[in-house]
Structure 1
């Protein structure tokens, strides 16, 4: 299992809306995450910086990378684009974090 962590940035004042949308995550999106090998997915929010920190466990990074091109993922990006920093294709601006310590 591959542990992956990343950060994204939420627009100020959008924390409640972000949580609301994720608490009602579409079943198709949940299925896609699992289908492409993602599990144990968590997102944390830093109120001081508006930074979101994501953590996900993956079966295979190559398989996971292909999830970006699914129709449901593109639809989700479009849905979230008004509340967070995004690239021109509406994908979230996401920066991978470098692991420095792990303890089981």
Structure 2
């Protein structure tokens, strides 16, 4: 099992909207995440800084890396681009974190 963590930023006035969109995550998005090896995927919000912390466990890094080019993921990125910091291709501006401890 490969553990991954990263952080992203949402706009301060979009906390509720971000939660709302994830509460009704599209079934085809959920299916894609599982198809490409996500065993678990959680996102946490630091409301004081509007920083999101994401944690997931995947089966295979090369399989997971293919998620970025799926049609559904591209559609999701476009859908989320108005409420968070993104790159020019609408992908979330994310910073991968290095694991330093595991119990």
CA RMSD, Structure 1 to Structure 2 (Å):
0.5
In structure 1, distance between residues paired with 2:82 and 2:57: 27
Give the C-alpha shift of residue 39 in structure 1. Answer: 1.9
- Mind listing any 5+ residue stretches in structure 2 that lack a counterpart? none
Give the C-alpha shift of residue 54 in structure 1. Answer: 0.1
- Mind listing any 5+ residue stretches in structure 1 that lack a counterpart? none
Q: Counterpart of 1:54 in 2: which secondary structure?
A: strand
In structure 1, distance between residues paired with 2:21 and 2:94: 18
Partner of 1:97: 97
- Spell out, residue by residue over 1:46-96, the C-alpha distance to the aligned partner (whole angstroms, 9 max, x if none): 011110000000001111010100000000000000000000000000100
Alignment of 1:45-56 (within 5 A): 45-56=45-56
Q: Runs (4+) of structure 1 moved beyond 4 Å?
A: none
Q: Counterpart of 2:93 in 1: which secondary structure?
A: coil
2:67 paired with 1:67: yes
Partner of 2:23: 23
Q: Paired residues, what number?
A: 103
| Superposition TM-score, scaled by structure 2 size | 0.98
| Superposition TM-score, scaled by structure 1 size | 0.97
